[in-house]
Amino acid sequence: MSELLPPPPAAAERQNRFVSDNLRRIFLQIYRIVGNIADAQDLTQEAFIKALQRQDQLKDEQKAANWLSRIATNTAIDFLRRHGRVAFCEMDVHTESEQHSPEELVLQSEHRNYLEDGLRLLTARERAALVLRDVEGCSAEEVARRLDCSKATVRSHIANARIKLRRYMARRKR
Amino acid sequence: MTKHPSEAVLALFAGGDLGSLRRWRVERHVASCAECRQEVSELSELRAAVPAMMEPPEISWTKLAVEMKANIRLGLEAGECVSAGRSDARGIFSMRALAVCGSLALLLAAFLLERPAPRIEPMTSEAAFLESSGSGIQSKTGDQSIMLLNTRARDARNVDYLASGNAMRARYVDSETGYVTINNVYAQ
């Protein structure tokens, strides 16, 4: 019976560097699509495991980073397809920075709930398209590549997302 | 004034997502239409606010990163265990399959040497007869027939037929899984 051998030191080091270099970026990318820290954590881990199991794809760092982003987007969208729309949940959040007063925390929480209610109106693909275009600044071509659809579909998702959010905010202002 | 552009067109215009010709047309309209200018202004504000809307709450990133890195390592190790287990199991299975096939081949050879050559022709009984073909064993009664297909046999050459008394046997090995399947059909 063959024994499990650890990856060679150079490969292990490359893996660790790849994870460290991309972890925060991928976590944020997934969080923006799923809107939930616990799910974003699980899905980030899943995306990295999927990517690192294909070592041969990691030789070119730039290509590997793009490829990882694509895996992350697809993993998050698949998750939303399986679980319906974005599900925000309360979490014990331990902050690293300054402490807030109870009033500030209430206001922050209300503002967050307000934004989350608006984001709930978007479908998984609308949200993903909006994140990639308006938050990450990808071109429509790049978004289409990442979402594996046409540029026209991307434009439609982006327009729908902006319209839904604008209408939601207009309703709330009244 | 030209006709108002649709809400979707204004939403795309606000984000710079229109082609140059369309953008020029919308620009011209917006310059002369206060209503559309207001809508574009709101959409632009919204667009600027989106990144902040998508930011996670303040979290202990260091702790979260350490936890995720540890889980990724664990997941990779678990994946390696599973794939190594699979390949070991495949190895063991192939060895076992080989041993079983070898024993069966020996038994079959001894059996064939000890008895007269089997008739591989259609066998008859009083009510039905059996016939072997590349795809299975067929039982015929008068005008009616029923066939037991060797669905997993990918190549007819891998199928061995053996006729015995009022029964016929088909034996084949699935080339992918190594499973040995034996079908016995009895004519009554």
Q: In terms of domains, do B132 and B92 share one?
A: no
List the beta strands (DSSP E) in B56-173: 123-124, 129-133, 136-141, 144-149, 159-164, 167-173
Q: In sequence order, what E strands does B44-176 have?
A: 123-124, 129-133, 136-141, 144-149, 159-164, 167-173
Instruction: Assess whether B66 and B104 both reside in one domain.
Output: yes
B124 and B181 assigned to the same domain: yes
Q: Are both B125 and B182 inside the same structural domain?
A: yes
Q: Which fold has domain A103-174?
A: Arc Repressor Mutant, subunit A (1.10.10)
Same fold, A9-84 and A103-174: no
Residue A88 — very low, low, confident or very high, per pLDDT cuts 50/70/90? very low
Supply the DSSP symbol for B154.
S
The sign one gets for the Cα dihedral A135, A130, A26, A33 is positive
Confirm whether B2 is domain-assigned: no
Give the separation between CA A95 and CA A81, rounded to whole angstroms: 31
Number of domains in chain B: 3
Are both B149 and B174 inside the same structural domain? yes
**How many residues are given for chain B?**
188
Least Cα separation, residue B33 to chain A (angstroms): 19
Of the candidates A26, A34, A28, A102, the one whose C-alpha atom is nearest the C-alpha of residue A64 is: A26
pLDDT at A97: 47
Nearest CA in chain A to B59: A95
pLDDT digits (tens, 9 = 90+) for A31-63: 988 888 899 999 999 999 999 888 676 677 778
Q: How far is CA B12 from CA A56, A62, A70, A161, B55, in A?
A: 39, 30, 24, 10, 23
Taking only the tens place, the pLDDT of each residue in A119-163 is: 888 888 898 999 999 988 899 999 998 888 999 999 999 999 999
Q: What is the mean pLDDT of chain A?
A: 81
Q: A41–B67: do the CB atoms touch at under 8 Å?
A: yes
Blockwise average pLDDT, block size 10, chain B, 188 residues: 88 93 94 94 89 80 91 85 59 57 69 59 59 76 75 64 76 69 74
Q: B111 and B137: one domain?
A: no
Which CATH number describes the domain made up of A9-84?
1.10.1740.10
Longest dimension (CA), chain A: 71
Give domain limits for chain A. 9-84, 103-174
Position A95 confidence tier, pLDDT thresholds 50, 70, 90? very low
For residues B101 and B140, state if they share a domain: no
Q: In chain A, which residues have their Cβ closer than 8 Å to the Cβ of B42?
A: 166, 169-170
Residues B84 and B33 in one domain: no
Half-sphere exposure of B187 (CA within 13 A, CB side): 27
Residue B133 covered by a domain:
yes
Task: Output DSSP code: residue B20.
Answer: H
- Backbone phi and psi for residue B81, each to the nearest 5 degrees, phi listed first: -60, -45
Do residue B43 and residue A169 have CB atoms under 8 angstroms apart?
no
* pLDDT on residue B13: 95
Q: Is residue B1 part of a domain?
A: no
Cross-chain residue pair A31–B69, CB shorter than 8 Å = no
pLDDT score at A91: 42
Which residue did the predictor score with more confidence, B106 or A5?
B106
pLDDT of residue A94: 44
pLDDT of residue A114: 76
For the full predicted model, state whether its pTM sits above 0.90: no
Instruction: State the helix-helix crossing angle for A102-119 and B34-53, rounded to 10 degrees.
Output: 120
Of A95, A131, A162, the CB nearest to B54: A131
- Look up residue B113 and give its two tokens: 């040497």
Q: Which helix (H) or strand (E) holds A13?
A: helix A9-34
The predicted structure's pLDDT at residue B16: 92
For residue B34, the enclosing domain spans 7-53
Q: Crossing angle, helix A102-119 and helix A151-173, to 10 degrees?
A: 130
Answer yes or no: do B128 and B166 share one domain: yes
Contact A96 B81 (CB under 8 A): no
Cα A157 off chain centre by? 17
Output DSSP code: residue B27. H
Q: Distance from B47 to chain A by nearest Cα, in Å?
A: 7
In the predicted model, is pLDDT for residue A103 greater than 80? no
- Residue B8: closest CA among chain A residues belongs to which residue? A159
ipTM: 0.72
Cβ contacts of A24 on chain B, cutoff 8 Å: 61, 65
- pLDDT score recorded for residue A90: 42
Domain boundary among B83, B98, B115: B115
More confident residue, B43 or A106: B43
Q: Are B60 and B48 members of one domain?
A: no
Q: Note whether B8 contacts A130, CB cutoff 8 Å.
A: no
Beta bridge partners of B130: B123, B139
| Residues B82 and B29 reside in one and the same domain | no
Residues B117, B78: Cα–Cα separation, whole Å:
54
8 A C-beta contact, residue B147 and residue B135: yes
Tell me, yes or no, whether B27 lies in a domain: yes
